[in-house]
Amino acid sequence: MRARSLLGATILLTGSVVVLSGTPAQAASLATGARSLESVSHPGRYIRHQDSLGRLDPVTASSTAQVKLDATFTVVNGLASPSCYSFQAKNGQFLRHRDWRLRLDTNTGDPTFRGDATFCAVDGSVAGSVSLTSYNYPARRIRHRDFTLWLDTYQDTAAFRADSSFRLTTAWAPRTSKNPVLPGLFADPHIASFNGRYYLYPTTDGYAGWSGTYYKAFSSTDLVNWTDHGVILDHGPDVSWADNSAWAPAVATRNGRYYLYFSGGLASGNTAKQLGVAVADSPTGPFRDALGRPLVRSDQFSGGQAIDPMVFVDGDGQAYLYWGQGVARAVRLNADMVSFDPAQVRTITPPGYNEAPFVFKRNGTYYLMWSQNDTRSENYQVAYATGTSPLGPWTNRGVVLQKRLDLGIKGTGHHSVVQAPGTDTWYVAYHRFAVPAGDGTNRETAIDRMEFNADGTIRPVVPSL
Ligand code: FUB
């Protein structure tokens, strides 16, 4: 069952925080972003961590900056399920239960950790409050006892209900940076502009071995405030030939329809990655597998992995498909957007290429961009070439986006580019190791300006927090 908005829910405002709530003990929907969680039974006390253990302590305006940081969590997409939530501390660790005690830990990406660090929201004991049930032990809820936090079996008493209810309030330590633009772990962002609105289509990250299974879509009018449109394609129910490795989606539009190109693999048997295409009538889906089989099979071309698809539609309406890890390939797509002539596929692997090809056009020049090095390396970076056609030939231009260690920014790659409609203003969306505690499977999505010199070359992108 996929995450869907709750029909018939009422909107309650608690401070600046929106809590969508149904009747008592029903699933509730939380706004993601930086929040603090105030106790219902002890107003003025907030969930915080100290020495990695969860506590319920007083926090006031005169509390130290550290206490305010420790009492601030970012509500993010559930590590185990998009129907639920995880709570990321400012140090990058996640609130999880272990031995029934609430504590902070680093996400290992394995199913046990993700389950232990995922909580589903149900109505709390008073209007506007929530109670957080465990994803993997649904009969248990986060509650405080002697001002320490535990995962206890639900008891139908007024005291238990109050001790396990919290109001999400404005964060004691509000965010001071513009990136990441999406709360939580999302990688390989494909950014696009359709009908005056920006869209982001990322890989859902935080899984060991990048074993995620579903894609979400987000949209924005200002590149700052993003609306989560929920799951738009889920390999489990929606794709017969792929279970996992839901990687690096890219969306293109033609004739009023939207085509989502994606990678997928099987958990057993032939686990090699393949490319698929799904179609929808809206940029936020729901998408359905257009072919019921891969668009590019794992065994179809020799060398490289069939991952990281990207489609560029030229001004004459001709669409081109690019893809590949290790080897970069390109081909004209047929007008149906879901087929091509295999005999016409070209290898266009540029120097230092690893993966994530991306093509756009500006002032008659075609730009081919790609990621170098391994996504687990802090040296993951973006380089580019320019050409006179969507298929080259290409002139290598070097690296334009790389780590910025003075700000703790590492592993900047798997990017995409969007032009602000009607302007010559361009933006690059990319992922990086989550700041401060991320790595190659705990990545987050950032957006920065991408500027050009008078000769059309791209200026080095300045990654920002
Ligand atoms: O997110 C999974 C894989 O990691 C992508 O397909 C690659 O481009 C790399 O970012």
What is the CATH number for 146?
2.80.10.50
CA of 446 to the centre of ligand 1 (A): 15
The residue from 112, 143, 170 where one domain ends is: 170
> What one-letter code names the amino acid at 239?
V
Hey, whose CA ends up nearest to atom 9 of ligand 1?
375
Side-by-side strand order, sheet with 310-313? 310-313, 319-323, 329-332, 346-347
Identify the pLDDT of residue 25. 61
Residues 76 and 213 in one domain: no
- Give the residues across from 38 on adjacent strands: 46, 167
Residues 196 and 137 in one domain: no
Q: What is the mean pLDDT of the chain?
A: 94
Domain assignment present for 180: no
Domain assignment present for 111: yes
Active site residues: 188, 355
Q: Which residues line ligand 1 (CB under 6 A)?
A: 187-188, 203, 210, 247-248, 263, 307-308, 355-356, 375, 414
Residues 336 and 276 in one domain: yes
CA of 248 to the centre of ligand 1 (A): 6
Identify the pLDDT of residue 20. 43
Residues 143 and 191 in one domain: no
Residues 59 and 85 in one domain: yes
Evaluated on CA atoms 75, 76, 79, 81, the torsion sign reads positive
The residue from 143, 170, 197 where one domain ends is: 170
Identify the pLDDT of residue 338. 98
Q: Which CATH number covers residue 197? A: 2.115.10.20
Domain assignment present for 457: no
The residue from 135, 170, 205 where one domain ends is: 170
Q: Which helix (H) or strand (E) holds 70?
A: helix 65-70
CA–CA gap between residue 85 and residue 31 (Å, rounded): 10
Q: What is residue 432's three-state secondary structure?
A: strand
Domain assignment present for 135: yes
Domain assignment present for 461: no
Full residue range of the structural domain in which residue 29 is found? 11-170
Residues 286 and 403 in one domain: yes
Chain position carrying tokens 């989550």 = 434
What length is written for the chain? 465
Hey, whose CA ends up nearest to atom 3 of ligand 1?
247
Q: What is residue 316's three-state secondary structure?
A: coil
The structural domain count of the chain equals 2
Identify the pLDDT of residue 354. 98
Domain assignment present for 455: no
Atom number of ligand 1 nearest to Cα 263 = 6
pTM greater than 0.75: yes
Residues 159 and 214 in one domain: no
Residues 192 and 85 in one domain: no
- Hey, which of 185, 186, 188 would you mutate to test ligand 1's pocket, going by the most ligand atoms within 8 Å of its Cβ? 188
Identify the pLDDT of residue 267. 86
Residues 200 and 271 in one domain: yes
pLDDT average per 10 residues of sequence, the chain (465 residues): 29 38 67 97 98 98 98 98 98 98 98 98 97 98 98 98 98 96 98 98 98 98 98 97 97 96 92 97 98 97 97 98 98 98 98 98 98 98 98 98 98 98 98 97 98 98 98
> Per the structure block, which two tokens stand in for 324?
């590949």
CA of 159 to the centre of ligand 1 (A): 47
Residues 257 and 156 in one domain: no
Residues 420 and 292 in one domain: yes
Identify the pLDDT of residue 26. 75
